[in-house]
Structure 1
Amino acid sequence: LKLLKAHRARMHQKYLESIPYCDLKVFEKLLETLPDNTVLQMGNSSAIRYTQLFDLKTSVEVFCNRGTSGIDGSMSTAAGSAVVSNKQTVHITGDLSFFYDSNALWNNYIPSSFRIILINNGGGGIFRILPGHKNTENFDTYFETIHDLNARPLCEMYNLEYSSAQSVDELNENLAGFYDDSERPKLIEIFTPRLDNDSILLNYFEYIK
């Protein structure tokens, strides 16, 4: 069992070094740069599935809403956690979960230490990972729900500091200082390639066997 675990750890790292910019690469960077002693509130669907592929710091407390309806209330739960916790709360979420519950930011109690990391891959990427027909009009509209929205207007409305990234270099640049003290909560929106993420993840599972 130890040999198998060590083998998969080596293959895991080797695969990550070989892939281009994508959801999986982004989660590697986000989770390795997460500060100690934070409360990590995970979004549903793809976000928590990606997170489970990595070893987290033992000082990080991880929470995630899991239910039959998927994305309901993840943003609200994270905002509530930020209000009551004496630790910094970080919420990593996908775009549909965030936009669906964005009115959670409409309150006066969210602390300036709250951090939101929004992975915007232009739709419900989880449905590209699950088995089924893809790249049809019905799939795009009713399952993946593709869109071209961004969070900048919401951040302006709710008085959050906003930044964005579309590459590893931009992500590294924007993460520097992201967790530092600030006068307002912060959100970083990370745009990833919608049509590449699923194949890279599915190939990952084949690679580490």
Structure 2
Amino acid sequence: MVDPIIETNASIPSLFIDRWEKANRKLVILSTLNPDVFTQDQLNLLTSDPTVLVMSEVSSNIRHEKIIWGGIDTLIAPIENDEDAIAHLQPDMVVTIGGMIVSKKIKQYLRRFETQYHYHIGNRRAYDTFFKLAGHIKTAPSHWVDQLSINETSDSYRDYWLQFFNNYLIKRTDYLAAIPWSDFRAFNLIFDSLPDDIVLQLGNSSTIRYAQLFPMNPTHTVFSNRGTSGIDGSTSTAIGAAVAQDKPTVCITGDLSFLYDSNALWNNYIPANFKIIVINNSGGGIFRILPGEKDNHTFDTYFETTHQLDASHLCKMYDINYHRVDGEDAFAKAYEKFLNDNSKPQLLEIFTPRLENDTVLLDYFKFLK
């Protein structure tokens, strides 16, 4: 049974406070949020409690040294079949703040290892994602943090998992240095060299899921169309956002998402410094990661939707500078031109091998074990 919705900025329900103070393992998940939801002092306060583990998704726009950023799947995937290790992560209480959660692994995990209570904080809709929703507290997340008490226990749920995560980060550098040209490698190069102080618009589906595997530049403001994982409207949203604010906007999207929304380019208001990066793996490559039979006509046609299209003719029609990359050797030169030319909108199309991307990604999680 769900407790009544609390519409207040004055106090937090006593039942929540009681449960919070008694819980020795508290998991806070920060999903899609606007920038500056918390001050630095509030983040310091939230992360100072050793019984609180905070996980933030890339679209939360929150970075902190004591928060597991974005890479929730990097933490969970290597231990998801280790009953003892994964059970040790089980929280007594879960608090969610923000919109839809991207990580499938954290959703699957918290449904499998039931938490006692799940509370959602803020005015966004409270989804019963883990089938344990105990209440929706409609107050500003910053106000909620200010009301929290700090547990002084020496048993650090937070530090154990932060150390676990940091060990993975050290190990992953060896894997990233050795992988062949692929979606994973392309995203690694892109995120390593994006300029500071930009608005980053991430396409839905594979783009934001790959972004979850990389630390985001703290000067970036990150947005993404999240809902029921539809690919429509990513480019339209990015262009509209670019028109509405002063910072340069970079849109990173997949080939199907870009082609599906190509009419977004048919307008007279695209800023000259607007940039699009299209990862073209000749179809809906994310479907190759999912279990099931592949490499037959039905899968190729109706799930992966394979194609041999590119964006060059669209760019010519809409007067957008087009840059093409077919491998890592060509990336650096094309990427530099793409970033530095602000005379008119730019599009960088990066082609990756359709049949190798899923193996490179799945082997990453195996490598971390």
Q: Secondary structure at the match of 1:177?
A: helix
Q: Which of 176, 191, 204 is the equivalent residue of 2:336? A: 176
Q: Secondary structure at the match of 1:164?
A: strand
2:359 is aligned with 1:199: yes
Instruction: Letter of the 1:165 partner, please give it.
Output: V
Q: Which of 294, 303, 306 is the equivalent residue of 1:143? A: 303
Which consecutive unaligned segments of at least 5 residues does structure 2 have? Answer: 1-160
Aligned to 1:15: 175
Structure 1, residues 31-72: CA drift from partner, whole Å, max 9, x if none?
A: 011111100000011111000100011010110001225101
Q: Secondary structure at the match of 1:178?
A: helix
Aligned to 2:265: 105
Q: Percent identity?
A: 54
Say if 2:323 and 2:338, in contact at 8 Å, map to a contact too: no
Q: Secondary structure at the match of 2:194?
A: coil
2:324 is aligned with 1:164: yes
2:250 is aligned with 1:80: no
2:217 is aligned with 1:57: yes
- Tell me the CA shift for residue 3 of structure 1: 2.7
Greater relative contact order structure (CA < 8 Å, 6+ sep): 1
Structure 1, residues 118-139: CA drift from partner, whole Å, max 9, x if none?
A: 0000000110011221111100
Number of positions where the alignment pairs a residue of Structure 1 with one of Structure 2? 209
Q: Give distance in 2, aligned partners of 1:69 and 1:94.
A: 13
Structure 1, residues 116-170: CA drift from partner, whole Å, max 9, x if none?
A: 0000000001100112211111000000000000000000000000010011121
Bigger radius of gyration among the two: 2
Q: Which of 291, 294, 297 is the equivalent residue of 1:134? A: 294
Q: Give distance in 1, aligned partners of 2:257 and 2:180.
A: 25
Say if 2:205 and 2:229, in contact at 8 Å, map to a contact too: no
Q: Give distance in 1, aligned partners of 2:189 and 2:349.
A: 14
Task: Compute the TM-score of the two structures, normalised by the length of structure 2.
Answer: 0.56
Instruction: Letter of the 2:319 partner, please give it.
Output: N
Deviation above 4 Å: which 4+ runs of structure 1? none
C-alpha RMSD over aligned residues: 1.0
Aligned to 2:205: 45
Say if 2:204 and 2:229, in contact at 8 Å, map to a contact too: no
Task: Compute the TM-score of the two structures, normalised by the length of structure 1.
Answer: 0.97
Aligned to 2:156: none
Q: Which of 120, 123, 135 is the equivalent residue of 2:283? A: 123
Which consecutive unaligned segments of at least 5 residues does structure 1 have? Answer: none
